[in-house]
């Protein structure tokens, strides 16, 4: 060992130094720094504060050999998806990174250009031991990523839920509750004909949000009209086309509920083409809380999701899963926040009057 290395080695703060300063055993300090669940939150905080104060830094290579962990969380983004560059992606990644960093872990992000490439990327990262587990966003009704990770016995956590919950931990927002609340809100404003434009039915949120809409319509005693419904609308163009089909019916709805904000922005486009004023002639409520919705006129009423907080929660859950906690104990759901803005109001026209206005613009 050269002189410089010897000096550095002597200066390095070790776990024994931290344990001596706190009057705790080295095992307790080590387990606290690695967030083991048998160590109290108070003790973990005391150890972290002292370690930070003393400048303790673990040797990552030695730690990896000792624990068998890379202390890295994996995320594979499928860039071919319609919303791979979705507005909330930066917030989500920030939350994941914050959550991992707060517990001394890192986030490893990879990109793939399709479903097959996504599975190959998972296999490569598992084979090379680049990560200890994965966050799976945009869960699907039939999700091959879940099957692969179950078979490989690799820990994972879902941003969403799964029809088959075995081995699944998750953090999710209750979109079905938001749809029910939206229908109740519209009914309270005086609407008796409410259309519904759903997102992708291959994703688990699609059936859930549909069920929420149907349950609320039944509870309100309102008819569900198939011609007033559409699905698989995930872009502005999709939303515009779905709205044109719905509003061209003989008795168009006075309000449309959209499962995603992007399709709702397409409804705005169609409403303008048909001579309808959003918020009076036609009310619109959506879900996601993207920034674009705040800048249209009138601003879009929507159920907002805190993607930064979701990311932090998912990182924490995955680390707990990696350390051996049962997935059944790692399932969280939260409510979306309703942003009551100008796109939802009392109906200014009846369905018959709306049909007459629309006919003049077709």
Band of residue 60 on the pLDDT scale cut at 50, 70, 90:
very low
What average pLDDT score do residues 211-221 get? 98
Long-range CB pairs of 293-298 (<8 Å, 24+ gap) are: 293/261, 293/264, 293/265, 293/341, 294/341, 296/265, 296/268, 296/343, 297/342, 298/341, 298/342, 298/343
For residue 177 the two structure tokens come to 């509750």
For residue 25 the two structure tokens come to 């055993």
Alpha carbon of 246 to those of 112, 193, 225: distances in Å? 36, 12, 10
Do residues 183 and 245 touch, judged by C-beta distance below 8 A? no
Band of residue 82 on the pLDDT scale cut at 50, 70, 90:
low
Please report the pLDDT score of residue 237 as a whole number.
96
What average pLDDT score do residues 312-340 get? 97
Please report the pLDDT score of residue 63 as a whole number.
46
What average pLDDT score do residues 277-297 get? 96
Closest to 195 in 3D by CA, of 220, 230, 235: 230
Please report the pLDDT score of residue 88 as a whole number.
79
**For residue 34, is pLDDT > 90?**
no
Which of 22-36, 98-112, 134-148, 216-230 is the least confident region?
Answer: 22-36
Please report the pLDDT score of residue 204 as a whole number.
97
- Please, what is the average pLDDT of the chain? 90
What average pLDDT score do residues 14-24 get? 88
| Sign of the alpha-carbon dihedral angle for 107, 108, 109, 114 | negative
Q: What is the DSSP string of 94-106?
A: HHHHHHHHHTT-E
Please report the pLDDT score of residue 81 as a whole number.
66
Residues whose CB is less than 8 angstroms from the CB of residue 58 and which lie 6 or more positions away in sequence, other chains included: 33, 104
Helices (H) and strands (E) in the chain, counts: 15, 12
Closest to 304 in 3D by CA, of 344, 340, 266: 340
In terms of pTM, does the model score above 0.95? no
Percentage of residues in the chain having pLDDT higher than 70 = 92
Please report the pLDDT score of residue 83 as a whole number.
57
């Amino acid at each position: 060992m050269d002189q410089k290395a010897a000096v550095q080695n002597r200066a390095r703060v070790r776990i024994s130094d931290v344990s001596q300063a706190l009057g705790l055993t080295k095992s307790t300090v080590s387990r606290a720094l690695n967030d083991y669940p048998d160590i109290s939150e108070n003790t973990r905080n005391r150890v972290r504060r002292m370690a930070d104060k003393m400048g303790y830094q673990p040797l990552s290579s030695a730690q990896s050999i000792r624990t068998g962990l890379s202390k890295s969380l994996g995320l594979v983004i499928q860039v071919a998806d319609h919303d791979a560059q979705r507005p909330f992606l930066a917030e989500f990644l920030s939350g994941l990174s914050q959550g991992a960093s707060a517990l001394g872990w890192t986030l490893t992000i990879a990109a793939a250009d399709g479903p097959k490439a996504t599975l190959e990327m998972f296999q490569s990262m598992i084979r090379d031991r680049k990560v200890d587990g994965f966050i799976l966003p945009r869960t699907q009704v039939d999700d091959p990523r879940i099957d692969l990770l179950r078979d490989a016995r690799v820990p994972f956590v879902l941003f969403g839920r799964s029809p088959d919950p075995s081995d699944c931990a998750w953090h999710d927002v209750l979109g079905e509750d938001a749809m029910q609340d939206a229908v109740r809100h519209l009914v309270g404003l005086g609407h008796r004909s409410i259309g519904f434009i759903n997102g992708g039915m291959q994703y688990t949120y699609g059936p859930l949000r549909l069920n929420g809409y149907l349950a609320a319509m039944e509870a309100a005693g309102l008819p569900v009209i198939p011609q007033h419904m559409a699905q698989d609308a995930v872009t502005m163009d999709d939303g515009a086309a779905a709205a044109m089909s719905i509003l061209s019916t003989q008795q168009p709805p006075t309000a449309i509920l959209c499962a995603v904000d992007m399709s709702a922005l397409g409804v705005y486009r169609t409403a303008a083409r048909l001579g309808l004023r959003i918020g009076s002639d036609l009310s619109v409520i959506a879900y996601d809380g993207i920034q674009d919705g705040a800048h249209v006129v009138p601003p879009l009423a929507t159920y907002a999701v805190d993607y930064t907080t979701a990311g932090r929660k998912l990182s924490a859950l995955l680390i707990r899963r990696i350390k051996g906690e049962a997935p059944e104990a790692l399932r969280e759901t939260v409510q979306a926040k309703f942003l009551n803005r100008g796109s939802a109001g009392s109906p200014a026209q009846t369905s018959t009057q709306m049909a007459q206005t629309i006919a003049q613009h077709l």
